[in-house]
């Protein structure tokens, strides 16, 4: 009985070792396949970026009357209205107040300024389009700039789940109305609340509503 028991245990151990070895060997092609998929995905993305950049360069070439500047972040821009008197630009810790309009590269309006309403953006502390996040910080108060964003720094492969589809490069025109430190903006919104309430009670014209601090900035 002891001999049979020992043989049974030995057989079970050999089967277990063989099974583990087969499972380990079966995983190798999956890893290789995954690496191959990633390589192909990278190549597709490179081709997509190159194609979009060619289209953007064509737009710039056909608008010779405008001077476009290439940014280090991979987008291009031209000034519609420039402010050459000021040197200050929005930075982290500021609140930027701006309007913008979104078009495709053919000039078709996707979102107009009325739809997007004036924006209140806590610089570098809210989720907005990657390209716009950088673009706001190179603007001065009162400037109006048109940006050409490849899709990978716009809304990428998923779009905005509304009007902007996957892999759509965009033309975005931004007007920076004002910017200020967060403390100044937050103090102003707090101070405006009781005044607006008092005016309403007196049946006077209400103050223009002041946007409360949003959790994130998205296109609606």
Is it the case that residue 118 has pLDDT exceeding 70?
Answer: yes
**DSSP strand E in 82-216: where?**
94-104, 109-111, 119-122, 144-149, 170-181
The pLDDT, as a whole number, for residue 68 is: 98
Using pLDDT thresholds of 50, 70 and 90, give the confidence band for residue 45.
confident
Using pLDDT thresholds of 50, 70 and 90, give the confidence band for residue 191.
low
| Phi-psi sector, 6: left (phi>0), alpha (psi -120 to 50), beta | alpha
The pLDDT, as a whole number, for residue 192 is: 58
The pLDDT, as a whole number, for residue 43 is: 86
Question: SS3 of 93, please?
Answer: coil
Is it the case that residue 194 has pLDDT exceeding 80?
Answer: no
In the block, residue with structure tokens 């509304």: 162
Q: Mean pLDDT over residues 65-69, rounded?
A: 96
The pLDDT, as a whole number, for residue 212 is: 40
What rounded mean pLDDT belongs to the chain?
Answer: 80
Q: How far apart are CA 218 and CA 126, in angstroms?
A: 9
Q: Phi, psi at residue 125, to the nearest 5°?
A: -120, 5
Is it the case that residue 170 has pLDDT exceeding 90?
Answer: yes
The pLDDT, as a whole number, for residue 206 is: 29
**What pTM value is reported for the model?**
0.71
DSSP codes, 188-209: HHHHHHHHHHHHHHTTPPPPPP
Q: What are the helix (H) ranges across the chain?
A: 2-62, 113-116, 130-135, 182-201
Residue 104 token pair: 């495709």
Q: Mean pLDDT over residues 85-92, rounded?
A: 97
Distances (CA, A) of 8 to 3, 14, 16, 84: 9, 10, 12, 89
Is it the case that residue 195 has pLDDT exceeding 80?
Answer: no
Question: Tens digit of pLDDT for each residue in 10-35?
Answer: 454 454 544 544 444 444 454 555 67
Is it the case that residue 198 has pLDDT exceeding 70?
Answer: no
Is it the case that residue 96 has pLDDT exceeding 70?
Answer: yes
């Amino acid at each position: 009985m002891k001999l049979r028991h020992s043989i049974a245990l030995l057989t079970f151990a050999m089967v277990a070792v063989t099974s583990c070895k087969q499972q380990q060997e079966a995983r190798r092609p999956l890893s290789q396949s995954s690496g191959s998929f990633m390589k192909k995905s990278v190549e597709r993305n490179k081709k997509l970026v190159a194609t979009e950049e060619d289209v953007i360069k064509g737009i710039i070439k056909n608008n010779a009357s405008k001077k476009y500047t290439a940014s280090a972040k991979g987008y291009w821009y031209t000034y519609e209205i420039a402010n050459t008197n000021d040197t200050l630009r929005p930075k982290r810790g500021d609140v930027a107040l701006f309007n913008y309009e979104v078009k495709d590269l053919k000039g078709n309006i996707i979102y107009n300024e009325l739809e997007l309403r004036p924006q209140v953006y806590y610089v570098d502390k809210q989720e907005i389009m990657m390209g716009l996040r950088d673009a706001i910080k190179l603007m001065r108060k009162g400037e109006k700039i048109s940006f050409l964003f490849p899709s990978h720094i716009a809304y990428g492969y998923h779009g905005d789940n509304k009007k902007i589809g996957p892999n759509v490069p965009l033309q975005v025109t931004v007007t920076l109305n004002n910017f200020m430190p967060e403390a100044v903006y937050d103090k102003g919104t707090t101070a405006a609340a009781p005044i607006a309430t008092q005016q309403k009670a007196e049946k006077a014209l209400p103050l223009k509503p002041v946007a409360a601090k949003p959790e994130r900035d998205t296109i609606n």
